[in-house]
Amino acid sequence: MAWVWLVLLYGVLKGARDIAKKKALEKSTVLSVLFFYTFLSFLLVLPGAGGAMGVSGAFLGYTAIKSFVIFVGWICGFYALEKMPVSLYGVLDLSQMLFTMLLGVVFLGERMTLLQGAGLMLVLGGLIMLRLGGKNGALKGEGVSAKLIGLALACCLLNGVSGTMDKVLMKHMTSTQLQFWYMFFLCSYYAAYMLLRKIRFDWKNVLKNYWIWVMAVLFVIGDRALFIANGMADSRVTVMTLVKQSSCVVAILGGRLVFREKNIGYKLICAAVVIAGIVIAVL
């Protein structure tokens, strides 16, 4: 069951990465963090460049599209996280599973069972509880607008699109090839965007912002663990989907311990409802 531990490692590192993002955004601008984060991550995967060659032009193009989807998604997610409690962001991030499953049904021809439908309803119910909590006072005073929630959910949707594309791309590419070219295109997009928008990049500031370095290391290690787990013959996608949600618990607890955020109990209840839906959906 080594693959279960690898996926659990991915989930824990993903939650820790959200905490590191929030800390990094306290010291640097969103686009500075995004560019330097992707640039460092690309440098970390650069030693595997030799094994990344030999990809056909068509699949390089598909990988470029996947990277563009994440390029937009991360901008939405980082702007949301900059002003949103990381514990709330962690719960909203669970909606990615809902989007991924629906995209699989629509574009990959996967069939949805009655249990999966019930599970998705629970996921949706947990997210609605989270949103209503703001109106009823449970989340009042946290400064979370509908726009911020929309940005966070847009990030989850685009991550779901990327995950759906991964299912297709991994049939024609190795994990090394996909990770290298994905990071190459992503880094190129952020560099081009900053040049076209003439956005100033404060190298001194980002170099001193060690949270960005932490993010990059967590990202590369987490993704590698997930790729290795996916490559193991006895790994089960349904169980992996559930274990990944450990990131939410880490983000919520981190919100309390690191940022002293409030309403942690209510957020844990909402997360429990969502995770219960995920458990039912993967049965």
The reported pTM is 0.85
Average pLDDT over residues 213-222: 91
Identify the pLDDT of residue 77: 94
Identify the pLDDT of residue 136: 55
172 pLDDT more than 90 = no
Identify the pLDDT of residue 64: 97
**Amino acid of residue 281:** A
How confident is residue 143, by pLDDT bands cut at 50, 70 and 90?
low
Q: How many domains does the chain have?
A: 1
| Range list of H helices, the chain | 2-25, 30-45, 57-83, 86-92, 95-107, 114-136, 146-169, 175-196, 203-208, 210-231, 237-243, 246-257, 264-282
Q: What percent of the chain has pLDDT over 70?
A: 93
Structure tokens at 189: 């997009």
Q: Alpha-carbon distance 56 to 61, whole Å?
A: 9
Q: What percent of the chain has pLDDT over 90?
A: 36
pLDDT tens-digit readout, 243-275? 787 888 899 889 999 998 888 888 889 889 888
Identify the pLDDT of residue 141: 59
Residue 114: phi and psi, rounded to 5, are: -60, -40
Identify the pLDDT of residue 274: 84
pLDDT tens-digit readout, 36-72? 999 999 998 898 888 899 999 999 999 999 999 999 9
Q: Poorest-confidence range of 18-32, 127-141, 177-191, 252-266?
A: 127-141
Domain range for 207 is 2-282
Q: Which residues are CB-neighbours of 41 under 8 A, at least 6 positions away?
A: 183, 187, 216, 219, 220
Identify the pLDDT of residue 23: 94
pLDDT tens-digit readout, 195-209? 998 887 778 888 899
How confident is residue 168, by pLDDT bands cut at 50, 70 and 90?
confident
Is residue 82 within 8 A of residue 30, CB to CB? The reply is: yes
Q: Poorest-confidence range of 110-124, 129-143, 160-174, 217-231?
A: 129-143
Q: Which residues are CB-neighbours of 83 under 8 A, at least 6 positions away?
A: 143, 144, 148
Identify the pLDDT of residue 106: 80
**Amino acid of residue 203:** W
